[in-house]
Amino acid sequence: MYGPAWHPLGFFIAAVSAGAVVVALNDVDYRYDSGVFYEPVDGGYKVVAPPSGAVVPSLPQDAVSLQVGDDTYYYYGGQFYVQADNGYLAVKAPPGAIVYNLPDGATTVNAEGVTYLQYNGDYYQPIQDGSGQSAYEVVEIEN
């Protein structure tokens, strides 16, 4: 669904591609490649959620643009982005956003009798869109 270069959170890889971009934040040199963030660990790299404040120079070709209110977001691999001066800033999922796929690793959560899916700290309610297609709407859940 996200192409051969995409890996789920927690995936370990010995080396990243030569085309990976270094994103330095909080004294860590993350690597970003094809919509995936890697953190150096144990002589290799582990897939992690984008660190807060991460700006990437480009998004994968398959990133989806969507409107939520007056704002334009981009979605790829369970992560939302907004356009920034020097690329795209990783942001928290905006409530009301509707997406048509979630990455492997989403977990089922029940709250007050309603079933949600949780991925990377964000909650999604399974819905049917206006055409009857299965989708997921970002919702806020009080913890």
Which residues 6+ apart lie within 8 Å of 43 measured at CB? 14
Q: What is the pTM of this model?
A: 0.88
67-100 pLDDT, tens digit per residue, is: 999 999 999 988 999 999 999 999 999 999 999 9
pLDDT > 90? residue 29: yes
CA-based torsion, 93, 96, 100, 102: positive or negative: positive
Share of the chain above pLDDT 90, in %: 65
pLDDT > 70? residue 4: no
CA–CA separation, 9 and 46 (whole Å): 8
